[in-house]
Chains A and B, each alone.
Chain A
């Protein structure tokens, strides 16, 4: 719809142009020169007033067609800026702005026509009604109501304001009220009718109204009256030049010159001048007074000089302000962020502290800190639980005197021997595996503990941390384990004896048979002839010897199966070997084995559990005898040697000339339940290995021995406890 109308309009324009074409054709090719004219009374009036002037110029200056472009007040700046006009005709106020902003330059000044007299200058008049005798000077205006035409009106306000400011009156601040009437006549009428005390209008308004009969000029009193030569109107302000005709920056100087010449040559009663209600043009006047006025009033283009309001600042420093604001916002954000960060750090710190405390309190080991003076600095929950002391009963007090004052045997533990203090002295961490701490209830408990120095950031020892553990249970477990080993060894012995029972029974039968037979023979001898007494005495002695022999075997048996006490005894290992020989003799005999004993006579006594060592020797000897039964060719030999090796140890080796250890079983020889025998549980070597280990020695098979098997064990002479 809109579009079609547009098309119609274009067609209409085209038709109009076609109609006008023959008429306008001579000037059709002329260059258009646009004159922007301030239009404060509507475009039609403006064109009517200034159209003739344009036509005048078009007629005078060949090759150019001058047109009028009416400009509303707010259109002036953008149009000039955009270069849409070539000349401008505006009031002096606007002109000085354009001059500053867009470098327009005046080429002529208007002669205003007043009562057919041309005036190229004008001013403002401030007046009051005659019946205000108290208002005589500008200073008297203070606290009176005031009306002007409008705030940007040069003659209708700004000129008067300049004078008032010079007299120390700020119309915006010092007056009782400030109104703008909008029309000059209205201002005059308002003062006349007493609506306001004082008014200001352009010069000649009062005279014009008086000549029109609207007012009587004598009803008014002129404030700050001034006399200027050749200026007949009532005047209160300085005088200022009339409207200038100016060229815009882009307009060619030659054209401007032509226009200026044309304007200056215009007769003052030319129809164009009459239409524009002016009286021709004069050479451009000095517009400095207008500049001064604006400078003084701090009006554009001088609005930023001197008077520096907030809005001025905002306007001028917009980007700085924006930047500042951004920086402020950024800093605000940063502050907020840092605050948050700080808060989070604080939380994290608390959490870490809690965690730290939680860890300290949830570990099962007792932990406490000690400062250089031996006072406890912290005491965790496990430490409280284990010792029975509450943290606040210990913290700040001497830990040694509380926990560590006495040895296990009841002798006092001197503080200077305390490992915790020694840690301070040499800054070395310590581990004590066997000690006692004292509970609050006065009982001691076995502990293992470590004492670790705490260093400050300079590496200087400032205390120590003690981590301790109640080893009661572990000790008990160790004891149980030892007991278990003892039991196992005993079971092993019982099992061995079970295997040996028939042989031992035979071995017992021998002396019993000898005893029985001897005794019965003696009876017969004595019955047949009592003179056989001497013989019988000999026999009795033999009987007693045999009884001893049987008794020895029984004794060894009982020893061997007894639940022996765990105490060790200082013994000669040779005696143990001999005791074992008693038990293995039947097997040796039955297996037709030759026993060779090579016992070191200078063997020192050694602290062992005798039965267990015998058990080892017995196991090794029986294994050898069993192995020897596979030997069908050679003489079966079993050798048991004892030997002292230096000051360190005693060695015992049991050697046979049987088939030797099969390589495939060599690795698992000492494992339990590994056996090559049809009978037996395979515990013998495993138990033996355990027994020798418990004595701090070692049981090994000598793989280098090729003629059979050789097992060696050694026992340390000074067993490290």
Chain B
């Protein structure tokens, strides 16, 4: 499957509702894959596939909420849009708190669903872009020697070259050589660029 085309994954136990959703989403050109139950979806889950999830919150077996929790265990998963029946608002609120991007009450206006789906797909794309940048930085970091990594951390910490040479017990010229190789390997234009890159990692994953 084309890994770049976002897909709408519909999970609903009601075949008719499922089919209607499929028809509507396809009418605006979105690819749709339907699942009759949450377990069915989780079984076939592929984190590489971009898109979004449209899930009925109330289903036999695993509910939409439970499924959402399962998905959260994966670093990457499509954003979840919850479809609720009448009177299920408290459950929807819980779903949003757990990270769902939206909830829609049945029956719904088509535009509301479609807007929500588009937003979710964009969000997924953004998330997926961010994720690819980070993995790039990680890749660059992994090319550094341990000494170079030490130097990088000290530079990020705001130490000047002289202090680094004293700390590491190496000559100033050696520090300068390590530093230029770090800049090169990290493909950083400037010190501030390098700082931003490392900050991005810290923000998303905490301190490495």
Contact of B28 with A by CB under 8 A = yes
A510 to B61: give the CA distance in the assembly, Å. Answer: 18
CB <8 Å contact, B20 and A509: no
Nearest Cβ on chain B to A497's Cβ, whole angstroms: 15
Closest residue to A593 on the B side, CB-wise? B60
Contact of B174 with A by CB under 8 A = no
- For window 463-508 of A, CB contacts with B under 8 Å fall at 502, 505-506
With A513-B20, A514-B16, A514-B17 as given contacts, are A590 and B60 in contact (CB-CB < 8 Å)?
yes
When each residue 81-94 of chain B gets 1 if its CB lies under 8 Å from chain A and 0 otherwise, what string results?
A: 00101111000000
Tell me which of B103-111, B152-160, B163-171, B176-184 binds A: B103-111
Closest residue to A529 on the B side, CB-wise? B27
Query: A512, A521, A522, A546 — which one has the most chain B CB atoms within 10 A of its CB?
Result: A521
Query: A509, A515, A516 — which one has the most chain B CB atoms within 10 A of its CB?
Result: A509
CB <8 Å contact, B58 and A506: yes
From A515, A517, A549, A592, B21 is in contact (CB under 8 Å) with A517
Nearest Cβ on chain A to B154's Cβ, whole angstroms: 55
Nearest Cβ on chain B to A544's Cβ, whole angstroms: 12
CB <8 Å contact, A520 and B86: no
Closest residue to B28 on the A side, CB-wise? A524
Contact of B19 with A by CB under 8 A = yes
A545 to B15: give the CA distance in the assembly, Å. Answer: 13
CB <8 Å contact, A513 and B17: yes
Nearest Cβ on chain B to A542's Cβ, whole angstroms: 7
Closest residue to B105 on the A side, CB-wise? A509
Number of interface residues of A (CB under 8 A): 30
With A505-B85, A509-B107, A525-B27 as given contacts, are A592 and B19 in contact (CB-CB < 8 Å)?
no
CB <8 Å contact, A510 and B16: yes
When each residue 159-189 of chain A gets 1 if its CB lies under 8 Å from chain B and 0 otherwise, what string results?
A: 0000000000000000000000000000000
A interface SS class: helix
Contact of A589 with B by CB under 8 A = yes
CB <8 Å contact, A516 and B23: no
With A511-B16, A513-B20, A517-B23 as given contacts, are A524 and B60 in contact (CB-CB < 8 Å)?
no
Contact of B14 with A by CB under 8 A = yes
Closest residue to A523 on the B side, CB-wise? B110
Contact of A679 with B by CB under 8 A = no
Contact of B137 with A by CB under 8 A = no
Nearest Cβ on chain B to A518's Cβ, whole angstroms: 4
Contact of A539 with B by CB under 8 A = yes
- For window 60-95 of B, CB contacts with A under 8 Å fall at 60-61, 83, 85-88
Contact of B13 with A by CB under 8 A = yes
Contact of B24 with A by CB under 8 A = yes
A625 to B95: give the CA distance in the assembly, Å. Answer: 26
With A505-B87, A514-B17 as given contacts, are A539 and B107 in contact (CB-CB < 8 Å)?
no
Contact partners of B14 in chain A: CB under 8 A: 510, 513-514
CB <8 Å contact, B27 and A516: no
From B61, B87, B110, A517 is in contact (CB under 8 Å) with B110
Contact partners of B58 in chain A: CB under 8 A: 506, 589-590
Nearest Cβ on chain A to B25's Cβ, whole angstroms: 8
- For window 1-55 of B, CB contacts with A under 8 Å fall at 13-14, 16-17, 19-21, 23-24, 26-28
CB <8 Å contact, B17 and A521: no
A590 to B27: give the CA distance in the assembly, Å. Answer: 31
Number of interface residues of B (CB under 8 A): 26
CB <8 Å contact, A512 and B87: no
A522 to B24: give the CA distance in the assembly, Å. Answer: 8
Closest residue to A518 on the B side, CB-wise? B20
Contact of A309 with B by CB under 8 A = no
CB <8 Å contact, A542 and B19: yes
A680 to B16: give the CA distance in the assembly, Å. Answer: 33
CB <8 Å contact, B27 and A521: yes
CB <8 Å contact, A506 and B16: no
Nearest Cβ on chain B to A146's Cβ, whole angstroms: 153
Contact partners of B21 in chain A: CB under 8 A: 517
Closest residue to B61 on the A side, CB-wise? A592
Nearest Cβ on chain B to A10's Cβ, whole angstroms: 145
Contact of A528 with B by CB under 8 A = yes
Contact partners of B20 in chain A: CB under 8 A: 513-518, 521, 542
A238 to B83: give the CA distance in the assembly, Å. Answer: 172
A589 to B107: give the CA distance in the assembly, Å. Answer: 19
From B13, B83, B86, B88, A589 is in contact (CB under 8 Å) with B13
Contact partners of A528 in chain B: CB under 8 A: 27
CB <8 Å contact, B60 and A509: no
When each residue 523-551 of chain A gets 1 if its CB lies under 8 Å from chain B and 0 otherwise, what string results?
A: 01100100000000001001001100100
Contact partners of A514 in chain B: CB under 8 A: 14, 16-17, 19-20
Contact partners of A513 in chain B: CB under 8 A: 14, 17, 20, 83, 106-108
With A506-B85, A528-B27 as given contacts, are A542 and B16 in contact (CB-CB < 8 Å)?
yes
A509 to B16: give the CA distance in the assembly, Å. Answer: 12
A617 to B24: give the CA distance in the assembly, Å. Answer: 39
Nearest Cβ on chain B to A539's Cβ, whole angstroms: 6
Nearest Cβ on chain A to B58's Cβ, whole angstroms: 6
CB <8 Å contact, A520 and B16: no
Nearest Cβ on chain B to A357's Cβ, whole angstroms: 75
Query: A512, A524, A592 — which one has the most chain B CB atoms within 10 A of its CB?
Result: A524
Nearest Cβ on chain A to B38's Cβ, whole angstroms: 11
A514 to B19: give the CA distance in the assembly, Å. Answer: 8
Query: B13, B19, B27, B110 — which one has the most chain A CB atoms within 10 A of its CB?
Result: B27
Nearest Cβ on chain A to B178's Cβ, whole angstroms: 60
- For window 96-134 of A, CB contacts with B under 8 Å fall at none
Contact partners of B19 in chain A: CB under 8 A: 514, 518, 542
Contact partners of B13 in chain A: CB under 8 A: 589
Nearest Cβ on chain B to A586's Cβ, whole angstroms: 9
Contact partners of A525 in chain B: CB under 8 A: 23, 27
A residues whose Cβ falls under 8 Å from a Cβ of B: 502, 505-506, 509-518, 520-522, 524-525, 528, 539, 542, 545-546, 549, 588-593
* New A-B contacts (7) at CB < 8 Å, excluding given A520-B109, A542-B19: A506-B58, A510-B14, A511-B16, A514-B17, A514-B20, A518-B23, A524-B24
What 10 pairs across the A-B complex have the smallest Cβ distances?
A517-B20, A520-B110, A521-B24, A514-B16, A506-B85, A524-B27, A516-B107, A521-B23, A513-B106, A513-B107
16 A–B pairs (Cβ distance < 8 Å), ordered by A: A509-B85, A510-B106, A512-B107, A514-B19, A516-B107, A517-B20, A518-B24, A521-B20, A524-B27, A525-B23, A542-B16, A542-B20, A588-B60, A589-B13, A589-B60, A592-B61
